[in-house]
């Protein structure tokens, strides 16, 4: 799958966002190594803590379907491009290496990063003792 197609899907799915409090719609399209794409949107909650980001929503869908290997994710938040939050970066690092591609989109732009650039010195399985 081409980067452009993954980015298009992220832009389209953001319309399904449930964001009545912030009005900030975010969509994500996650490409697995098997070639499947899983979508996610941000889902807000009145108490805010249970809110889930689009990136984690996409990972949850893919993991629930049995996927464990991922190629790239495209994230679109609208007019301005913004990278995934720290919690989403940490979730990505559980399943993806530092070369995992992260496409950060605005309505007219696409920036490309690796997870290693966005989360250097990630805390991972190798840091666990026991």
Which sequence positions are flagged as catalytic?
Answer: 55
In the DSSP assignment, the letter for residue 43 is B
**Which of 16, 27, 19 is closest to 107 using CA atoms?**
27
In the DSSP assignment, the letter for residue 52 is B
Which residue intervals of the chain are DSSP H helices? 3-13, 54-64, 86-95, 115-118
Cβ proximity of 11 and 51 under 8 Å? no
> How far apart are alpha carbons 97 and 125 in whole angstroms?
12
């Amino acid at each position: 799958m081409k980067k452009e197609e993954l980015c298009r899907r992220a832009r389209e799915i953001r319309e399904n966002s449930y964001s009545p409090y912030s009005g900030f719609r975010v969509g994500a399209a996650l490409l697995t190594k098997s070639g499947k794409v899983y979508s996610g949107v941000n889902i807000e909650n009145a108490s805010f803590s249970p809110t889930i980001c689009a990136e984690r929503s996409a990972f949850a869908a893919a993991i629930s379907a049995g996927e464990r290997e991922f190629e790239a994710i495209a994230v679109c938040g609208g007019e301005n491009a913004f990278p995934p939050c720290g919690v989403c970066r940490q979730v990505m690092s559980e399943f993806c290496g530092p070369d995992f591609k992260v496409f950060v989109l605005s309505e007219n732009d696409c920036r490309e990063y690796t997870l290693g650039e966005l989360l250097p010195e990630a805390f991972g399985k190798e840091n666990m003792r026991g």
